[in-house]
Amino acid sequence: MRVTLIRHGKTRGNIERRFCGCRTDEPLTEEGRSALKCIDGAAEDSLIFVSPMLRARETAGILFPGRDLIEVDELKEMDFGIFEPHNHEELDGNPDYQAWIDSGGTMQVPGGESMKSFVQRTMTGLAKAVKHASSNDTDEIYIVAHGGTIMSVMGALTHLNYYDFLVENGCGFTFDLEVDDAGNIVAAGTYDSFRSGVRAGSSDRGSSQNASSGKMDRFVDRIFR
C-alpha cells in the first residue's frame, strides 16, 4: 500500500512559533492557503484521511478538492498541555518547560502527553487508516495531519530519530507498506520526500542525529521550524 503523509499548511501559530497541539484549533493563513497546490495525480480510488483539526481539514480541501475526507481522531497533533498556545519566549524560565526541554521532549508535558504515548496514539491512527483502506481494496492513501504526527509515524516506522522527520508546511513523505490479508501493517519500505503535491525525490537515509544531545536552542529550533 502506498501512503503519503502531508503536513498541513501554514498557520498563525507556525509563524509565531507557538506550541499548537490538539488543544489549539486554528485555520490556515492566506499565505498558507496560497502556498498549497492541488494534487492532480491522486488516483480516483485513493482514500484521503485527515486529522479532525481545522488546519488539516482546510489543507486537505485545497489539495483534494471535492474528495471525501475521512477523519481519524488519533492523527491529531500532540497534546502540549500547559505549553499551549505559548512559544519559547513566553515559557522560558518555566521549570516544567525546562525539564521537558532537558528530556529532549520525551517526558510527559504537564496536562498533556509524553512522546511515547503520542507515538502509540498516532501509530494507532495509521493502523486504523490502513485497515480501512485495505477493507475497501484501496492501495493508495493520503494522510493530511501535523508535523508532530508525521515525525511520530516516520520515527516509529524507520526506527530513526523522531526529529529527523520534521518537515515544512505542505510537505511530507511517501512510502510503501506491506499489509497482510487482515489489513495489518507487516513492514515498511523506503520513503521519498513530498512537497505540496510534487514528490521531491529520494530521501537521505543517512545516520540519524540525536536532538536531545544538542544544545537547548537547537532543540527548540527543531520544534518550531
The per-residue pLDDT for range 109-156, each reduced to its tens digit, is 999 999 999 999 999 999 999 999 999 999 999 999 999 999 999 999
Characterise 93 by phi-psi region: left (phi > 0), alpha (psi -120 to 50), beta (else). left
Residues of the chain with pLDDT under 50: 197-225
pTM for this model (two decimals): 0.87
Domain spans of the chain, in order of start: 2-224
Please tell me the distance from the alpha carbon of residue 205 to that of residue 195, in angstroms, as a whole number: 18
Could you tell me the end-to-end alpha-carbon distance of the chain, in angstroms, rounded to an integer? 30
For residue 200, the model assigns a pLDDT of 43
Q: Alpha carbon 90 to chain centroid distance?
A: 24
Q: Which stretches of 42-141 are DSSP H helices?
A: 54-63, 88-91, 95-102, 115-135
Contact of 53 with 87, CB cutoff 8 Å? no
Percent of the chain surpassing pLDDT 90: 80
Question: Which cell numbers in the block locate residue 53?
Answer: 483539526
Question: Which cell numbers in the block locate residue 127?
Answer: 493502523
Domain 2-224 -> CATH class? alpha beta
Q: 85: buried, middle or exposed (CB in 10 Å: 19+, 13-18, 0-12)?
A: middle
Mean confidence (pLDDT) of the chain? 88
